[in-house]
Structure 1
Amino acid sequence: MKVSGWTTRVLETPDVNPLIVGVDQPGTREFVTLELDTDDGLQGIGITFFGAALTPALRTAVDNLCELTVGEDPLQVEAVTDKLWLAAGGAGPEGIFTLAISAIDIALWDIKGKALDQTVCSLLGGHRDRVVTYASGALGRPMTIEYLAEAGPRLVEQGFRQMKTQMGAEPTARREVARIRTLREAIGPDIDLMCDINQLWDVNQAITIGSRVEEYQLFWLEDVVVRDDYQGLARVADALTTPIAAGEYVYGIRPFRHMLEQRSIDIVMVDLLRVGGFTQFRKVAGMAEAFNLPVVSHLIPEMQVHSIAAIPNGLTVEYMPWTLRLYEETPAIEDGQIVVPDKPGLGLAFDRDALERYQVG
């Protein structure tokens, strides 16, 4: 079996999160989709994105790299991706190159699963067939405290046992703390509550405000300082009892080595597109396991369910439903857990009507 061709598209979808109720959600999100074909008739799918003005350039990068895969054996995933790294790795690891190669890597694993009649989860290790998932994007900074008090219990009613909010936009520490206190009082003590800072604090803010919210038993504090301040992250992690999660903003596998060696984090968060796809994800997961640390996912839950469920140190999947409208069917949510599809490969198929509706390039 050989790779025989490919199709890419640029899609622009409404930026609407169905977990948000009663709040206007303007704007759009852009995605690059990939369908990678073989001469045996099997097709693998992939996706990548970072949005905005450079999305056409990202599509071009995917096209250029796909051209290099034609004639290659798609089952030899490491060999194919290594060829792409040798051909264009000087353009990375950060930025468009890694985002482009990730779409191809994902599609190759999808083909391999279909060829071997196995799920990608099974190929990656197959530790279990479902994993806890948490509601994300519904409790953000733009939301008022009054909204948070209503939205948190609503997510619990929908079956979520974990959810994530944000801090980092309030003018005072007191008001930041008030948001966490309000949510904790609304959802009770038995629901896991995470909080994302998105790199908006410095080290002193992280320690000061982080200390003040420790009584509310956060499941983790995420990306509290700028992504490559490994020493600063280590200072925060050492000062707080609340676990520190980070990793979604870094590219490739090497930054994770630095974070782990410097004890910068307690929870390893991996973005499948920035790390380089499933091939590189499993290397990070192995490093994390060697340091006795859990791994969590960032975005695209329909694919990350495979990666997190596959490994023994997979902790939870972020349920951010940005991309779910693009598929005919998406993984089921049962009792607060996301279920690995029982179909070969990713168990996903692009919805042709959605592709036609949202295609802009």
Structure 2
Amino acid sequence: MSVSGLLTITGLDVRAVHVPMRLPLQTSSGAIHIAPLALIDLHTQEGVTGRTYLFCYTPLVLKPVCAMLNNLAPLLQGMPVAPLEINRALHARFRLLGAKGIVGMALAGLDMAAWDAFARAQAQPLARALGADLLEIRAYNSCGLGLIGADLAPAEAEVLVSAGFSAIKVRLGYPELATDIQVVRAVKAAIGEGVQLMSDYNQGLSVPEAERRVRALADEGLCWIEEPCAAHDYAGYARVRAASTTPIQMGENWWGPSEMAMCLSFGASDLGMPDAMKIGGVTGWMQAATLADAAGMPISTHLFPEVSAHLMAATPTRHWLEFVDWASPILARPLQIRNGHACLSDTPGTGIEWDESAVGRYLVP
């Protein structure tokens, strides 16, 4: 049902859940077995509720993020659901502190929830509210396939492909370069030539070691090499990019479009993959998409596939959607993947609705 005029915010509900991951993920920085999610419900006087979630990486951060969101709730009371104005006002509050870390996560969550409510009020999917059409967005399966070795990786890769995907991602960063190469070759042998393989180092290498490894991986047929070294070292990335014939991917750790612009100025990466949360929610993403379009940079997504699929529809240089099913157990209608593509429905907003019985099982007291 369409609601005329702007909505008025009446309150915010925030809940913390620990959702078990179907395939635990072992990276160079540690193992992830659960998805610590902050669930956000933005309520309005008109009865429309905007929903989203934040992935908090570690349980250590989940409660502080929820606390920050609750601290911001009184500032929202009585505000109209005008996402750009909400974003401007909240960022102004944190001009001296800066909008990174827990603050940035909370602001992005509110932005995504506000845009969801805005689209719902128009009875439009978020993609259409952003001026785009409903598209099928090609996706790669990023669930699992962590640092599990060449003996186990092929079987897990086959599981990921069996869901109908034409691309998957493997994590690298073993102590020895030879193991990286062995794993890549074992996975490619298992999935066949028709499936593309992305790789991710999760910032695990020094710049000199990254230069050495990208050269060694040049003939392995990888779609891209992601975050080989520390994400903030744009000058280092420019060196790695110059040493690589495989495209270098980064961007999930851009805190806002300004950091993306700085990265572009260094020529640090061939490809970009903003994170909907770290880039600043829907508002930050659209700014990032404009930068990418001007630079001719292909843009993929990082996590949050339910929201990111809509953002990709509105992104001129869209490349790949990263699919993870980490929130699926607590969603009433998980994102549908058909033939390796995310299928946007005409459900208003992002389509996020909670499976309340599942939320109750995973609720953090």
- 2:20 paired residue number: 14
Partner of 1:341: 345
Q: 1:313 aligns with which of 308, 313, 317?
A: 317
Q: Deviations over 1:166-207 (max 9, x none)?
A: 111x22211221111111222222211000001111122212
The structure 1 residue matched to 2:80, chosen from 73, 79, 95, is: 73
**Pick aligned residue for 1:145 from 150, 167, 180:** 150
- Could you tell me how far apart the structure 2 residues matched to 1:41 and 1:228 are? 42
User: Is the 2:150–2:183 contact (alpha carbons within 8 Å) kept by the matching residues of 1?
Assistant: yes
Partner of 2:193: 189
Mapped contact 2:139–2:322 kept (Cα < 8 A): yes
Residue pair 2:143, 2:160 contacting (<8 A) in 1 also: no
**Over the residues paired in the alignment, what is the CA RMSD in angstroms?**
1.8
2:4 corresponds to which residue?
A: none
AA aligned opposite 1:10? A
SS state at 1:193 partner: strand
Alignment of 1:1-361 (within 5 A): 1-17=7-23, 27-50=33-56, 51-74=58-81, 76-141=82-147, 143-168=148-173, 170-361=174-365
SS of match in other structure, 2:46:
coil
Give the CA deviation at 1:215: 1.2
Aligned counterparts of 2:105 and 2:341: Cα–Cα separation in 1: 28
Change (3 A) 1:157 1:48: closer
Q: Is the 8 A contact 2:25 2:146 kept in 1?
A: no
3-state DSSP class of the match of 2:320? strand
The one-letter code matched in structure 1 to 2:112 is I
What are structure 1's unaligned runs of at least 5 residues?
A: none
Aligned counterparts of 2:32 and 2:101: Cα–Cα separation in 1: 27
Give the CA deviation at 1:228: 0.7
TM-score normalised by the chain length of structure 2: 0.92
Displacement of 1:137 after TM fit? 3.0
Letter in 2 for 1:129: L
Cα deviation code 1:85-106 (max 9, x no counterpart): 1123433222111100111111
Partner SS for 1:296: coil
Cα deviation, 1:112-154, whole Å, max 9, x if unaligned, reads 111112111122231551111111132111x231222222233
Tell me how far apart the structure 2 counterparts of residues 259 and 358 of structure 1 sit (CA, whole Å): 38
* More deviation, 215-224/205-214: 205-214
Amino acid at match of 2:211: I
State how many pairs are aligned.
354
Match of 1:275, SS state, is coil
Deviating beyond 6 angstroms after TM superposition, the runs of 4 or more aligned structure 1 residues are none
Q: CA distance change for structure 1 residues 253 and 19 in 2, over 3 Å: closer, same or farther?
A: closer
- Distance in 2, matches of 1:288 and 1:26, equals 31
Distance (Å, rounded) in 1 between the aligned partners of 2:189 and 2:180: 15
Give the drift of 1:28.
3.0
Cα deviation, residue 66, structure 1: 2.4
C-alpha separation in 2, matches of 1:128 and 1:342: 8
Shift of 1:27: 4.1
Q: Percent identity?
A: 28
Q: 1:99 to 1:19 in 2, by over 3 A?
A: closer
The verdict on how the C-alpha distance between 1:56 and 1:156 changes in structure 2, with shifts beyond 3 A counting, is closer
Deviation, 1:26, is 8.3
Return 5+ residue gaps in structure 2 as ranges. Answer: 1-6
Structure 2 letter corresponding to 1:85: H
- 1:89–1:34 CA distance, 2 compared to 1 (3 A): farther
- Report which stretch shifted further, 47-56 or 106-115: 47-56
What SS does the aligned partner of 1:29 have?
strand
Give secondary structure in 2 for the equivalent of 1:225: coil
